[in-house]
Amino acid sequence: MEETCKSRRDAARASAAARLFRPKVLRVVLRWLARLGIPACDLDDVAAEVWLCAWRSWPKFDPARSRPERWLNRIAVHVCAHYHQRAVHRREVLTDDPPRVPDPRPDAPSLLDAEESRNAVGDALRGLSMPESAVLIEHDLDGLPMLDVAESREIPLSTCYKWRVRALVALRAEIERREGSAR
């Protein structure tokens, strides 16, 4: 007996789902919402909220208690009531002035600092007399790939990387020496 009731309930739910979840009912829900005072600009969002609430509460739907259209209409009325309740607190401030966005470009003092740093590094590089510094200049400043630098110097790639590291260590030492003598 219980299995028969369950199968009837499942059949009724399947029939209700077939009646509800189709494009014609979507248009009906949009008409309900328009009649309930939802502005046209918010109709799609509120309709989506109605369908989301219907999907969430579908496991609780009992076809023996009411028709599926009536159940969906109650959900639409409930969602509209919440929409209107929230509309009281919604405020939009319209201005003629666009919002001020900070300029992403660097300002003059930071440009000067960057230029001073570049000049200091260039002076320190020119102060190095090692052949390894040429690898550093070609790769890091001129942007040549390390493979091209190694081929132009006719040295192995690993040696080219080692020379670059040596030049970086010497450059750091030269910059620290210059900063120490400037103080």
- Flag whether 50 is in a domain: yes
Residue 31 lies in a domain: yes
- Read off the CATH number of the domain in which 136 is found: 1.10.10
**Residue 116 domain-assigned?**
no
Residue 113: inside a domain: no
- CATH number where 40 lies: 1.10.1740.10
Domain annotation covers residue 136 = yes
Question: pTM for the whole thing?
Answer: 0.44
Task: Give the pLDDT confidence of 13-72 residue by residue, as tens digits.
Answer: 777 777 777 778 888 888 989 998 888 888 888 998 998 888 888 788 777 787 888 888
Q: Cα–Cα distance between 104 and 91 in angstroms, integer?
A: 30
Averaged pLDDT for residues 118-124: 82
Q: Is residue 102 part of a domain?
A: no
Final residue in a domain of this structure, among 87, 113, 131: 87
CA–CA separation, 111 and 91 (whole Å): 42
Residue 134 lies in a domain: yes
The region that residue 91 occupies, defined by phi over 0 for left and psi between -120 and 50 for alpha, beta otherwise, is beta
Question: Is residue 104 a part of any domain in this protein?
Answer: no
Within a 10 A sphere around the Cβ of 133, how many other Cβ atoms?
22
Q: Pull the structure tokens for residue 27.
A: 């248009």
* CA angle (12, 16, 22) in 5-degree steps: 150
Domain count, the chain: 2
Burial (Cβ within 10 Å: 0-12, 13-18, ≥19) of residue 39 = exposed
Q: Are residues 14 and 64 in the same domain?
A: yes
Q: Give the three-class secondary structure for 37.
A: coil
Percent pLDDT > 90 in the chain is 13
| Residue 153, domain extent | 123-182
What length is written for the chain? 183
- The pLDDT of residue 1 is above 70: no
**Residue 129 pLDDT level (bands cut at 50, 70, 90):** confident
Residue type, 158: S
